Structure 1
Amino acid sequence: MSERKQILKIRDLSVSFHTANGLVRAVRGLNMDVYKGETVAIVGESGSGKSVTVKEVMGIHTPNEVIEGGSIAFTYDSGSGEKTVDLLTISPHFMQNQLKGKHIAMVFQDPMTSLDPTMTIGKQLMEGMMLHLHLSRKEAAGRAVELLQMVGISDPEKRLKNYPHQLSGGMRQRVVIAIALSCDPDLLICDEPTTALDVTIQARILQLIMDLQKKFNISVIFITHNLGVVAKVADYVNVMYAGKIIETGRTEDVFFDPRHPYTWGLLSSMPDLSGNKEDRLYTIQGNPPNLLNEIKGDAFAPRNPYALEIDFEEEPPMFKINSHHQAATWLLDPRSPKVEMPDQLRRRIEIMKREDASNGGN
């Protein structure tokens, strides 16, 4: 097996926002790695900092934002060799002209936020290719037709002349994916790209992203709150809570051997599609912390039925479970009392394991 090549390395990222009520600490010392050709999912409740994190990678900033610290090292082929830059310190001009679209691209939740309603689909597809790949108008038009075919849009020549409002939601999202892939990026960021679509179209879009990722060996960051989606698309999972990653590992680690009580809660609150009506759907009690307030100890402690005294006093470090699985919970400290995951979740994981085995591990 060839050595994994790291293309994104986020260390100690802290991002806050000035609001009328004070400073909101949205991301609090986040660490994350992405390797070539792999899909990394970021999961967590709304407000956990998922979108803020990837917008920093994309260089999308707001006037009230404060980057308190950290670095985002991005490694790419500059054409004259491999180059690593800190995405937090490069100029907006460099980001816009050298990296965005060409090396890093993003698919947003609502395609209408990405598409210009006053421009034809063709013009929007061709724009980036003419800028970054220096294609002629004719060459860009030919590649635009190929891209639309690749993402499953029929009669692509006709669609190039359409405006966004003339397409269905599923077709618009396919166009956005085509635009994102038009300049062969190294890293594709998908921020809840299927939320606004119906279930059938969702499945097709997910399959499309997976197929294109394998075909072009792209690295993908996939943001979602839907754990069912994560199981299908991700190689690695980062579970986020209150601006920090609190469990990280391979998908099978996090789904089959979760260690953080928050991850237990997330997995327990997934709808059970196996037809088992005995178990009521679990809900995590309480609400996420108000990030206007300073957090003492473990941010999840007030909602954690297994919280220890130390959870309210001191933030837990990341405890290593194996070479690719870590979790930030004091329950993993050798001195802590032995706490097992809930029986209901254990039964659910056994079912998931059996289903995974019967599907050949796919």
Structure 2
Amino acid sequence: MTESKKMEEKILSIRDLSISFQTALGRVDAIRGVEMDLYRGETLAIVGESGSGKSVTMKAVMGILSSNGVINSGSIDFSYYDNHEKIDVDILKLTKKHMRSHINGKHIAMIFQDPMTSLNPTMNIGAQIMEGMIWHKRANKKEAYQRALELLELVGITDAKKRMKNYPHQLSGGMRQRVVIAIALACNPDLLICDEPTTALDVTIQAKILELIKDIQKKMNISVIYITHDLGVVAKVADYVAVMYAGKIVEKGTVDEVFYDPKHPYTWGLLSAMPDLDTFDDVLYTIPGSPPNLSHKVEGDAFADRNIYALNIDHRLEPPMFKITDTHYAATWLLHEKAPKVEMPQALRDRIDRMLKEASDDGK
């Protein structure tokens, strides 16, 4: 850990988290030894294909795993303030009732990808924003109403008084997502988890929502975790990136390290699969094969069968996290001192060089 990190305040620390699900087809080991840290005011993006374990990890943080989920090992240490007193808890040791009453909505809030599944169609917008404040903060209706108006203005909704009386179906998709953000912020949470928050929106609205969350984060000094498969989103919002594959983090580092100097072949594949207007290829790159079936025991590196750079050892032994810098780590045998020298594909190198040039030009 760097000296600057030691001076900052860690609010979330996940260690050796392993989660399985009992299904009709048997036990599925969905999360296999996840470790990550988050500091106050930081933005962490968790990226990976569907089924990589991103959402399950964050549902464990929220204490909302489905009933067939089993925590096999690990801890989720969370630090927050209540009446100016710092409180440290291991979320995995709390009851669901305690999570609902003291943590969810109040200290950890979540924004889901489809606002219509988060909003109650039978309640007007104002009542839904006020509800959390009345329940968690013991605010009276007048205080909650005033704060709800302020929140609607904060998330960029004009004519807030009129909108307070509207029902979800009377708003556009972009406005509904802004309302969901207002509800999430109602109790001044320490941590905001955004699960694909812009997937259901068109591109212009996406950019506005991402900018909005970024602005609010700065004003309120809250920590944000994005769950996404869209690396374009990551580049715009994240400080740090964790790349997940088959229930494990396979690469993590600063956004610049993971974007401009990726070391894991899976990260190379994800970056190569990003749409690029400057490429001359007619066909968009896709990572060959499919993720492994986690109801079967994974031998060696879970990515080995899809990895054209796989070594013999990949099929036998799981790679450890190799340290690249103080902040950059990757779990690939290619980083072992005795491994053959393998560089990222030239097409990706060219793309990254273009991205670096564009970033440099934008900074002028």
- Please indicate, yes or no, whether the TM-score normalized by the shorter chain is above 0.5: yes
Tell me how far 1:280 sits from its aligned partner. 4.3
Matching residue of 1:55: 59
- C-alpha distance in 2, partners of 1:162/1:146? 16
Unaligned runs of 5+ in 1: none
Q: State the partner residue of 1:314.
A: 317
User: d(CA) in 2 for partners of 1:282 and 1:114?
Assistant: 34
Give 1:140's aligned residue: 144
- Residue 42 of structure 1 is matched in structure 2 by 46
Which residue number corresponds to residue 109 of structure 1?
113
Q: Which moved more, 1:62-71 or 1:41-50?
A: 62-71
Deviations 1:287-315 (A, max 9, x none): 00011110000000000000000000000
What is the CA RMSD across the aligned residues, in angstroms? Answer: 1.2
Q: Which amino acid aligns with 2:258?
A: V
SS of the residue corresponding to residue 56 of structure 1 reads: helix
Aligned pairs for 1:72-221 within 5 A: 72-79=76-83, 81-221=85-225
**Deviation at 1:360?**
1.5
Cα shift readout 1:136-181 (whole Å, capped 9, x = no counterpart) = 1011101101100110111111111111111111111100000000
Corresponding letter in the other structure for 1:357: S
Alpha-carbon distance in 2 for matches of 1:26, 1:327: 20
User: Which secondary structure state, in structure 1, belongs to the residue aligned with residue 324 of structure 2?
Assistant: strand
Instruction: Tell me the secondary structure at the aligned position of residue 42 of structure 1.
Output: strand
State how far apart, in whole Å, the 1-side matches of 2:92 and 2:337 are.
38
| Among candidates 278, 289, 296, match of residue 286 of structure 1 | 289
Q: Residue 29 of structure 1 aligns to a residue in which SS?
A: strand
Q: CA deviation at 1:205?
A: 0.6
SS of match in other structure, 1:291: coil
Task: Classify the secondary structure of the residue corresponding to 1:154.
Answer: coil
* Residue 301 (structure 1) aligns with: 304
Contact 1:320–1:327 (CA<8 Å) still a contact in 2? yes
Q: Residues 61-114 of structure 1: CA distance to partner in whole angstroms, max 9, x if unpaired?
A: 211111111110001112252111011111112211111111100000111111
| 1:216-255 superposed matches below 5 A | 216-255=220-259
> Partner letter of residue 178 of structure 2?
R
Counterpart position of 1:272? 276
After TM superposition, the score normalised by the length of structure 1 is 0.97
Give, in whole Å, the separation in 1 of the partners of 2:47 and 2:201.
19
Contact preservation (8 Å) 1:248, 1:325 = yes
Q: Secondary structure at the match of 1:165?
A: helix
Counterpart code for 1:319: F
Q: CA deviation at 1:132?
A: 1.9
Query: Which one of the candidate residues 12, 15, 20 is aligned to 1:11?
Result: 15
1:239-285 CA distance string (max 9 Å, x none):
00000000000000000100000000001111113x33247422110
Q: Which runs of 4+ in 1 moved over 6 A?
A: none
| Aligned with 2:347 (options 344, 347, 360) | 344
Q: CA deviation at 1:349?
A: 0.6
Q: Distance in 1 between matches of 2:249 and 2:143?
A: 44
Cα drift, residue 237 of structure 1: 0.2
Partner residue of 1:23 out of 11, 15, 27? 27
Cα distance in 1 for residues equivalent to 2:252 and 2:84: 34
Q: 1:257 aligns to what?
A: 261
Q: Which residue of 2 aligns with 1:329?
A: 332
Question: How many residues are paired up?
Answer: 360
Find the aligned partners of 2:76 and 2:218 in 1 and give their Cα distance.
25
> Structure 1 residues 78-87 or 51-60, which shifts more?
78-87
Post-superposition shift, 1:40? 0.1
Contact 2:13 2:77 in 1 (8 A): yes
Is the partner of 2:56 in helix, strand or coil?
Answer: helix
Mapped contact 1:271–1:281 kept (Cα < 8 A): yes
Q: Tell which deviates more after alignment, 299-308 or 125-134.
A: 125-134
Contact 1:279 1:344 (C-alpha < 8 Å) held by counterparts: no
- Deviation (angstroms), 1:201: 0.8
Amino acid at match of 1:5: E
Q: Distance in 2 between matches of 1:8 and 1:342?
A: 35
Distance 2:125 2:219 in 1: 24
TM-score, structure 2 length as denominator? 0.97
> 2-side partners of 1:23 and 1:356: how far apart?
46
Q: Match for residue 33 of structure 1?
A: 37
